Amino acid sequence: MYRIINRRRVRQLRKMRFWRRRSTDLTKPRLCIFRSSRHIQAQVIDDAKGIVLACASSIEADVKSTGLRGKEMAVKVGAVVAERAKNAGVTTVVFDRNGFTYHGRVQVLADSAREAGLQF
């Protein structure tokens, strides 16, 4: 039990480290991700206006119908969110890994979004 609580606490500390740096510069939208054990979600958020500009998730019907899982699904979600962000007029973002380590599905999603045209 202590190990689970400690893991959550470490993730919260990583999130706070990001927000301390981020709070001074809100000019660029952020690409925020959330990873669960089965799914992955990504949003492009404009914090200055408080709106979501683009989003993609492995739960969506058009993405889910591909039948991919794991890292392959993260590649698809990264490409879809980058395409939707470019359609919304966003080319440069700040990557918010939301306290997750930059490894595995998080890294693959970020690389896929970069290849699809987002700059961060």
The CA distance from 69 to 42, in Å, is: 16
The CA distance from 113 to 109, in Å, is: 6
Q: Over the chain, what is the mean pLDDT?
A: 91
The CA distance from 30 to 47, in Å, is: 8
The CA distance from 74 to 67, in Å, is: 12
The CA distance from 92 to 2, in Å, is: 40
Secondary structure element (H or E) that encloses residue 5, with its range: helix 2-22
Task: Please name which of 54, 12, 60 lies closest in space to residue 39, comparing C-alpha atoms.
Answer: 60
Q: What global pTM score does this model have?
A: 0.84
Domains and CATH numbers, the chain: 2-115 (3.30.420.100)
Q: What is the pLDDT of residue 87?
A: 98
15 pLDDT tier (thresholds 50, 70, 90): confident
Secondary structure element (H or E) that encloses residue 30, with its range: strand 30-35
pLDDT at 23 over 80: no
Give me the mean pLDDT over the 90-112 stretch.
95
